Amino acid sequence: MTASVFLQSGDLLPEALNISFKLVPAIMVVGMLALFLAIGYVFKVADTEGMWVAGRSIGNIENGMAIGANWMSAASYLGLAGLVALSGFYGLAFIIGWTAGYFVLLIFLAAQMRRFGKYTAPDFVGDRFNSDTARAIGALTTILIGFVYSVGQARGMGLVGLYVFGTDYVTMVIVMMAITVGYLTISGMMGATKNMAVQYVILIIAFLTAVYVVGFTGGYSTVLPHIEYGQLIGELSTEFSEPFANAGFYLWIATAFSLIFGTCGLPHVLVRFYTVENEKTARQSTVWGLFFILLLYWSAPALAAFGVDLYDASQYGPTFAANGGMSGGEGDLIVVLAAQLSNLPTWFVGLVAAGGIAAAIATTAGLFITASSAVSHDIYTNIINPDATQRQQVFVGRATIVALGIIVTVTAFDPPALVGELVALAFSLAAIVLFPMFFLGLWWENTNRQGALAGMSVGLTLWVAAVVNDLIFHFSDLFAEFVPAIGAALVGTPLVFVVTIAVSMATDEPPERIKKMVRQCHSPEPMGQQQSAEDVVMSADGGQSPADD
């Protein structure tokens, strides 16, 4: 079975959801949104340092919480349990993929990226490979990732808003996205980071409370639902529990691979390492972030199992009925539905729903900040107008947030796939195009401009072809089987590594200044809080060479 099966979601709206206005949950959500706006206003910024990297002043625990909130999007809070509920064993590939990548980040990228010391991921690509063309491709990839990823968040906010406010889906998407865009245009990275710490607390309390309360009231678990849910596995249908019943071995491996290395290439994750004081704090915040993420990811399969059993016993079941069964929209909201079908109080279900909104807004904030910095800093300032003032840069960044918000909102009205699947496409793109550039750029000093351009071009072309084949215009069954959009990195990432290395070896080595910058990323010598590898090299050598192209 190919990934295209999973990317064709039937009914994207949840029939089983109690769609009506609920006063107490509405008050909770409105109060939460007001808090986010207030924090954004208090920590508003007017300069590029605060707008993009929060003045490089964030501590390890706070940054770890921001990593957790930034990471645990609607795809994690809502979509992860939904994917497990709808696809069973295949859904575990998402849990493994979305966590294992942090070990690669911790070992190979976190400290080195901080020592390189730029504002954005495209900034790294442009300066490391001495190329404005590479910078532009990196910026385009960052914007594409932000767009695809954010559509899933907008969809999640719209679906959860249906439960709380009882209005139509389109209205909820518009309202939630307007609030998100509003506070981001004011606050920038500083306010977004402060909000992410608060949002993490809200979402993790809501999710863990749901797991324990649903498990206890349903008689599924007592003290440790993360393990006790195992007794349900034998009772649920084979579509849920049998390995590779819903997806073959190759697709499982391809999906996990794409998610693992996509984690290491996501710009809104890597920019978190630029917001801290030094490389030691970058490593520590990665560990804290992984711990905070573990709390939710360890719990998601349990809540998915509870939700499937409750849905089977309801008037809407069984989950995997030949005709009907759980729809895509119901799968995306299995976290909320599990609480609702457990006949828990409305205010409690509202708390669970509020956590989903907090998760979606936190991730959207990180995505929009990185996309706006790609346009303002990497394209406008570095390529179009090098003499741009800080005020002009911030204005372009805020205008980008508004424009991207409009495009994402309209696309989310009728999304092409489920929340988790949309996010997985962004991971696949990051794994193919950006991760090889980050890894080779930091660990092989002879990677040059020509190699990077060739590799990124091949990777971007392959990913676009896979998405077109799976979602837009199907042109090859064989290509869909071995290069599925959701797991295209299994073929694409090694291919980009090979192309980049081969072209780099066949062409001139990069300038000595670039090599020294790479070596500085691995130097044991401490660096100043606002210092980059380029600053150290320039202070030693004097002068700076322009981009090659």
At 318, the amino acid letter reads P
Over residues 87-91, mean pLDDT? 80
Q: What is the pLDDT at residue 212?
A: 93
Which of 71-85, 219-233, 463-477 has the least mean pLDDT?
71-85
**47 vs 302: which has the higher pLDDT:** 302
Over residues 157-185, mean pLDDT? 86
Q: What is the pLDDT at residue 238?
A: 63
CB 455 within 8 A of CB 513: no
Phi first, then psi, for residue 322 (nearest 5°) are -60, -40
Highest mean pLDDT among 47-51, 191-195, 478-482: 478-482
In the Cβ-directed half-sphere of 63, how many Cα atoms lie within 13 Å?
Answer: 29
Q: What is the pLDDT at residue 246?
A: 63
Which of 110-119, 134-143, 167-176, 425-434 has the least mean pLDDT?
110-119
Q: What is the pLDDT at residue 435?
A: 94
Q: CA torsion angle for 119, 377, 268, 145 (degrees, to 10)?
A: -150
pLDDT digits (tens, 9 = 90+) for 385-414: 888 887 888 888 889 989 999 999 999 888
Q: Which two tokens stand for residue 78?
A: 């809502």
From CA 288, how far away is CA 196, in angstroms rounded? 14
From CA 129, how far away is CA 125, in angstroms rounded? 6
Residue 457 has pLDDT above 90, yes or no: yes
Over residues 338-348, mean pLDDT? 91
**Cα end-to-end distance, the chain, whole Å:** 45
Residue 4 has pLDDT above 60, yes or no: no
CB 76 within 8 A of CB 334: no
Query: What does the longest C-alpha to C-alpha distance in the chain come to?
Result: 74
Residue 453 has pLDDT above 90, yes or no: yes
Q: What is the pLDDT at residue 9?
A: 39
The residues pairing with 58 across neighbouring beta strands, listed in sequence order, are 276
From CA 115, how far away is CA 14, in angstroms rounded? 47
Residue 241 has pLDDT above 70, yes or no: no
Query: Which pTM does this prediction carry?
Result: 0.82
Q: What Rg do the C-alpha atoms of the chain give, in angstroms?
A: 23
Residue 12 has pLDDT above 80, yes or no: no
Q: Give helix then strand counts, H and E, for the chain.
A: 28, 0
Phi first, then psi, for residue 168 (nearest 5°) are -80, 160
Residue 515 has pLDDT above 80, yes or no: yes
CA-wise closest residue to 156 among 31, 331, 19 = 331
Residues 6+ apart with CB under 8 A from 258: 97, 424, 427, 428, 431, 486, 487, 488, 489, 490
Quick one: what percent of the chain has pLDDT higher than 90? Answer: 23
Q: What is the pLDDT at residue 371?
A: 85
From CA 161, how far away is CA 548, in angstroms rounded? 50
Q: What is the pLDDT at residue 113?
A: 80
Q: Which two tokens stand for residue 121?
A: 């991921």
Grade residue 189 by pLDDT with cuts at 50, 70 and 90: low
pLDDT digits (tens, 9 = 90+) for 357-389: 888 887 787 788 888 888 888 888 888 888 888
Over residues 332-352, mean pLDDT? 89
Mean pLDDT for the chain overall: 82
Grade residue 496 by pLDDT with cuts at 50, 70 and 90: very high
Q: How many CB atoms lie within 10 A of CB 11?
A: 12
Residue 549 has pLDDT above 60, yes or no: no
The residues pairing with 458 across neighbouring beta strands, listed in sequence order, are none
Q: Residue 314 to residues 173, 306, 318: CA-CA distances in angstroms?
A: 28, 12, 8
Q: What is the pLDDT at residue 300?
A: 86
In the Cβ-directed half-sphere of 537, how many Cα atoms lie within 13 Å?
Answer: 23
Grade residue 425 by pLDDT with cuts at 50, 70 and 90: confident
Domains and CATH numbers, the chain: 14-418 (1.20.1730.10)
From CA 235, how far away is CA 348, in angstroms rounded? 28
CB 429 within 8 A of CB 141: yes
Q: What is the pLDDT at residue 79?
A: 73
Over residues 339-349, mean pLDDT? 91
- In 278-379, alpha helices (H): 279-297, 300-313, 328-332, 334-341, 346-373
Q: What is the pLDDT at residue 542?
A: 56
Over residues 74-78, mean pLDDT? 76
Residue 282 has pLDDT above 80, yes or no: no
Over residues 257-286, mean pLDDT? 79
Per-residue exposure over 453-488, b if at least 16 CB sit within 10 Å of its own CB, e if not: bbbbbbbbebbebbbebbbeeeeeeebbbbbbbbbb
CB 354 within 8 A of CB 444: no
Grade residue 240 by pLDDT with cuts at 50, 70 and 90: low
In the Cβ-directed half-sphere of 466, how many Cα atoms lie within 13 Å?
Answer: 27
Residue 490 has pLDDT above 80, yes or no: yes
Taking each helix axis as running N to C, give the angle between helix 132-165 and helix 121-128, from 0 to 180 degrees, rounded to the nearest 10: 170
Over residues 100-120, mean pLDDT? 80
Grade residue 3 by pLDDT with cuts at 50, 70 and 90: very low
Q: How many residues does the chain have?
A: 549
Q: What is the pLDDT at residue 447?
A: 96
Q: What is the pLDDT at residue 10?
A: 41
Residue 323 has pLDDT above 90, yes or no: no
